[in-house]
Chain A
Amino acid sequence: MTPPLVTFNHSHPYPGKLIIVEGIDGSGKSTQLMLLRKWLESQGHNVFFTEWNSSELVRDTTKRGKKSKALTPTTFSLLHATDFASRLFHQILPPLKAGMIVLADRYAYTAFARDAVRGVSRSWVRKVYDFAVRPDMAFYFRVPIEIAIDRLLGGTRAQIKYYEAGMDMGLSQDITESFRIFQSRILAEYDKIVEEYGLIVMDARRDIEGQQNEMRQLVSKALAQYKPRRGTYGKRTLFWRRFDLPKPE
Chain B
Amino acid sequence: MENARFFGEGLTYLNPSDLKGKLIAIEGTDGVGRSTHIEMLQEWLEVQGYGVVTTGWTRSNLMSKTIEVAKKGNILDRWSFSLLYATDFADRLEHQVIPALRAGFIVLSDRYVYTAFARDLVRSGDPAWIRNVFGFALVPDLVCYLRMDVDTLALRVIESKGMNYWESGMDLRLSGDLFDSFKKYQSLLIEEFDKMAEEFHFEVVDARKSPEEIQNALRSKIQPVLKNGQTMKA
Contacts and interface: CB of A to CB of B under 8 A. Distances in A.
Interface string A72-116: 111100110110011011100000000000000000000000000
Given A2-B123, A120-B12, A121-B10, A127 B132 contact: yes
A2 B124 contact: yes
Interface string B69-102: 1100011111110011011001100110000000
B103 interface: no
Given A2-B123, A74-B136, A57 B129 contact: no
Contacts of A57: 66, 69-70, 74-75
Interface in B5-22: 8-13
Interface of A: 1-2, 4, 56-58, 60-61, 64-65, 70-75, 78-79, 81-82, 85-86, 88-90, 119-121, 123-124, 127-128, 130-131
Interface of B: 8-13, 61-63, 65-66, 69-70, 74-80, 83-84, 86-87, 90-91, 94-95, 123-126, 129, 132-133, 135-136, 172
11 contacts: A2-B78, A57-B74, A61-B62, A74-B10, A75-B90, A81-B83, A82-B84, A88-B77, A88-B79, A121-B9, A127-B133
Contact of A4 (B65, B66, B124, B135): B124
Contacts of B136: 74, 124
Contacts of A72: 90-91, 94-95
A71 B75 CA distance: 22
A52 B158 CA distance: 43
Contacts of B13: 73, 119-120
Given A4-B126, A119-B12, A128-B132, A78 B90 contact: yes
A220 B145 CA distance: 58
Contact of A74 (B11, B77, B124, B172): B11
A15 to B, nearest CB: 21
A75 B80 contact: no
Given A86-B80, A121-B9, 16 more contacts: A2-B123, A4-B124, A60-B66, A72-B90, A78-B83, A81-B83, A82-B84, A85-B77, A85-B83, A89-B77, A90-B77, A120-B13, A124-B8, A124-B9, A127-B133, A128-B133
B80 A1 contact: no
A69 to B, nearest CB: 12
Contact of A1 (B70, B77, B86, B124): B124
B61 A70 contact: yes
A58 to B, nearest CB: 7
Nearest to A5: B79
Please give me the 9 A-B residue pairs with the lowest Cβ-Cβ distance, nearest first: A85-B79, A89-B77, A127-B132, A119-B13, A124-B9, A82-B83, A78-B87, A121-B9, A86-B80
B61 A85 contact: no
B9 A58 contact: no
Nearest to A74: B90
Nearest to A56: B74
B129 to A, nearest CB: 6
Contacts of B79: 85, 88-89, 131
Contacts of A74: 10-11, 90, 94, 136
Contacts of B125: 1, 4
Residue in B74, B75, B126, B172 whose Cβ sees the most chain A Cβ within 10 Å: B75
Contacts of A75: 62, 87, 90-91, 94
Contacts of B62: 61, 64-65, 70-71, 75
A86 B75 contact: yes
Contacts of A120: 10, 12-13
Contacts of B124: 1-2, 4
A123 B70 contact: no
